[in-house]
Chains A and B, each alone.
Chain A
Amino acid sequence: AQSVTQLGSHVSVSEGALVLLRCNYSSSVPPYLFWYVQYPNQGLQLLLKYTSAATLVKGINGFEAEFKKSETSFHLTKPSAHMSDAAEYFCAVSVGTAGNKLTFGGGTRVLVKP
């Protein structure tokens, strides 16, 4: 079975500073990895996904993530935080044997300070 661990349930960054959200996965078969964002009282919106085509994946709103097989990681970064980035972020994994059913991490809430 696969699993996802997100280090840090809360992250506080200053506006303009680097955003780094950590995600580690466990899977016995090649994984496909996703980052979703959830704004208050809304559903989840896809930021980016790793589908094995390229290890560095660029997404919407200036976010990117790098798949590192040796570290079993898929950390999310953004060079400069905006106030609008305040939200909860979820890392998720799917594997070929289970179709596109997602296993999510526990989430990281991002607070952006002016």
Chain B
Amino acid sequence: ETGVTQSPTHLIKTRGQQVTLRCSSQSGHNTVSWYQQALGQGPQFIFQYYREEENGRGNFPPRFSGLQFPNYSSELNVNALELDDSALYLCASSLGGENPTDTQYFGPGTRLTVL
């Protein structure tokens, strides 16, 4: 069974640029959630996709957007990058997004540095 994978591992961008991060969910999972983990802090929920539809969003501006594809993989796009966007971005997949006890399985993350 393949776990959650993310690409790239590391990324360096400059302010104002745009970035796309990718996530492949665990086999059989139809829900993907994205989290931002700033240095020294806990992860913060960005948004969740369930069967290709956005299924909830945290307190992040519209320049954070996402997609989920028919194979349930997902992308996180961030436009107009700011220095504060520097963080570890974590993707997590689960069997379904409606059950609050469903376990989320996390990928290793993408480390984004904005200069």
Contacts and interface: CB of A to CB of B under 8 A. Distances in A.
Interface string A65-96: 00000000000000000000000001010111
Contact of A107 (B41, B56, B58, B99): B41
B100 A90 contact: no
A98 B56 contact: yes
Interface string B3-31: 01000000000000000000000000001
Nearest to B91: A43
A103 B45 contact: yes
A61 interface: no
Interface in A7-65: 9, 32, 34, 36, 41-46, 49, 51
Given A90-B42, A102-B43, A104-B44, A43 B107 contact: yes
Contact of B94 (A96, A100, A106): A100
B2 interface: no
B103 A43 contact: no
A100 B50 CA distance: 11
Q: How large is the interface on B (under 10, 10 to 19, 20 to 34, 35 or more residues)?
A: 20 to 34
Interface in B82-99: 90, 92, 94, 96-99
B103 A46 contact: yes
B48 A99 contact: yes
Contacts of A9: 40
Contact of A49 (B33, B103, B106): B103
B109 A99 contact: no
Contacts of B92: 44
18 contacts: A4-B42, A32-B100, A43-B4, A43-B106, A43-B109, A44-B92, A49-B101, A90-B43, A99-B48, A99-B97, A100-B31, A100-B96, A100-B99, A100-B103, A101-B58, A104-B43, A105-B42, A107-B40
